[in-house]
Structure 1
Amino acid sequence: MNKRFMTLIGLVLTLAMLLAACGGGSGSEPTEGADPGEDAAETGDSEAAGEADVILRLAHSGSETHQYHIAAVNFKEEIEEKSNGAIAVEIFSGSVLGSEGEAVEQILDGTLDMTTVSADSSFANTVPEMNVFGIPYLFENLDHVYRTLDGEVGTELLELSDQKGMKALGYWEVGERHVTNDSKEIKTPEDMNGLNIRVQPAPVWEAHMRALGASPTPVAFNELYSALDQGVVDGQENPLNTIYSMKFDEVQKYVSLTAHTYSPAIVVMSERAWEGLTPEQQQLIEEAVEAAKLYQREELAAMNDEILAHFEENGVTVTTDIDFDAFREATKEVRDVLSSQVPAELIEKIENN
């Protein structure tokens, strides 16, 4: 009897340890297809968090060298310093808490404190006006982009986001988007003909690729590396830092600097988290988001030449002689797809900014 009793005790203890191992952490399992060869990570300082009055969980879909993470880490440093440790930030990268669309849903239902996502991707399903950033060649250059985001139009779009049940804090950067593929150089719209290109899940992107003769295929960002590697899609379009940080150059041998659109990363907080802060803490959060914006812009600008050099050193063909006039002409009707979602006045404001 004692032997049977001891065996039973051993089984109970083993089961308890297994349950403990499965029950810790955030309650969400890592999303398949996060940054290849790199575990999705939480960079929160547990010691700092333990001493803080407020702990904010910030999730994003990028790797630890992605634009999102560059800004998020700077934001964490800024707010923890400005608040003298009263506010701590735990960062979850690589879609460990879900895709961008899932992160937005979690913000809306209050189960996630903060996220930063591409404004013109799945976020535009909640705030349709953000589709404006999917209009090809709407901006003349980065100075035009920054005047828009930092001015009246940018503020109006943040206010529209506030009306959807969240607190919009500002814009970080995803960047100017370029086309990559694994079969040929892209110099003219005709070169896009027949290519199967991954697009963000929004009608404007599907219309954009069809206008160029390509076949648009929506693929979740955290599944994109695998889709490229396995030939599910021939190519994709993203900013240089995204291509580099997510290692797409390992499975794409042609990068064409088409600069066809610019994507801002909107920074949002759940209403529950925002309303749980004092007015003084809210101001510190806004200041830290702004500081991270400026820091990230400077960092990304400095990195571009290094990234292009890295591509060329690793056998990637970088094409710069793009027929921009031909691309503009081929895609000029894409904005018509957005007529029911993006007011004509908004487009006009941006063009005249």
Structure 2
Amino acid sequence: MSIETPFWRAIAVYRFCSLGYAAILVVEADSYGNPGPAWTVLVLMTAWTVFATYAYSRERLRGWPLLTADLLVTAACLLSSIWVQGFDGPRGTMPITATWVAAPVVAWAVYAGRRAGAAAAAVIAVLDVWLRGVGVLDLNTVPVNGAVLLFLAGVVIGHVARLAKQAEARMQRAVEIEAAGRERERLARGIHDSVLQVLALVQRRGAEIGGEAAELGRLAGEQEAVLRELVRTAPRPPAAESADLNDHLRRHASATVTVATPATPVELPARTVEELSAAVGNALDNVRRHCPEGTRAWILVEAEDGAVTVTVRDDGPGIPEGRLEEAERLGRLGVSQSIRGRVAALGGRVTIVSSPDGTEIEMVIVAP
């Protein structure tokens, strides 16, 4: 059940209670100029109360069309006091609607916050003050207590409703993080008992055997470290937040990898930063796999003209002509999916230039 549901139920109770109060006023009113129409207005108020209670209880119907209709019907019933009580009847007295007019103000406040509540209160309050003065907005002679209370109700209830919605969102996020944490712990136990132990064994035995097995052992060790970091990392906040690309790419720096970034932060959406960092990591993995030991690599970040360019360059032997096409044809889609695919999903492009002096991968995306 949404946090809004109790608010709408409370508004429904208020509608019926205030409708009962208006009915008592009609029954006991002997000064109405046209008592017959008073019952007509009361029937209309009753019908709208029943319909509004039903409509607001259905989330699919709850929206601006219903809110606008609610305000207009309430305003019409309020103005009918001139017809019921006579042109001079409403002057200085309570209209036929009594406190029933506050219902749409509270509904607007709960649905859209304090500003909407204040706007609805302003409409009803102006009509109420005008009605009590019968066409004269004289604040010195017309009682304005009701208008002030309407405005305060719209602002305060709207503010409380907004705080309640924010608290509900934070609680939901906390529940999701807790669930993700439990799932991560469960996966970590399973991975530790199987995959990580196998990778650790491959690394140790590869180092003992030497030769090509040593290279396999080194790669197994790197993947073990990456996997441990993956299961250890806590859930991150929603990707709508921004992050500094420079900070993420500096994590790739090592004895053989040099990172050059601008002096000022390069702020991008967090998801974009994560995808670019993953693409750079994949490019560096290719250097470690396919280039001689000790091959150096450089990461360069440039931000200008509304675009961000990340370049990964190495001084290895380069990619043999046709190797990328052959790998893609054989189903080995490392470069195609992990680099080109990631950047393309961000709306960017990738250019790969290779020669016997090294390979350069340029990733360009449009800065938001």
TM bucket normalised to smaller = under 0.3
Q: Which has the higher contact order (CA 8 A, sep 6+)?
A: 1
**Structure whose CA Rg is larger:** 2
TM-score of the two chains, using structure 1 as the length reference? 0.22
TM-score of the two chains, using structure 2 as the length reference? 0.21
Q: Which structure's residues are more often strand, by fraction?
A: 1
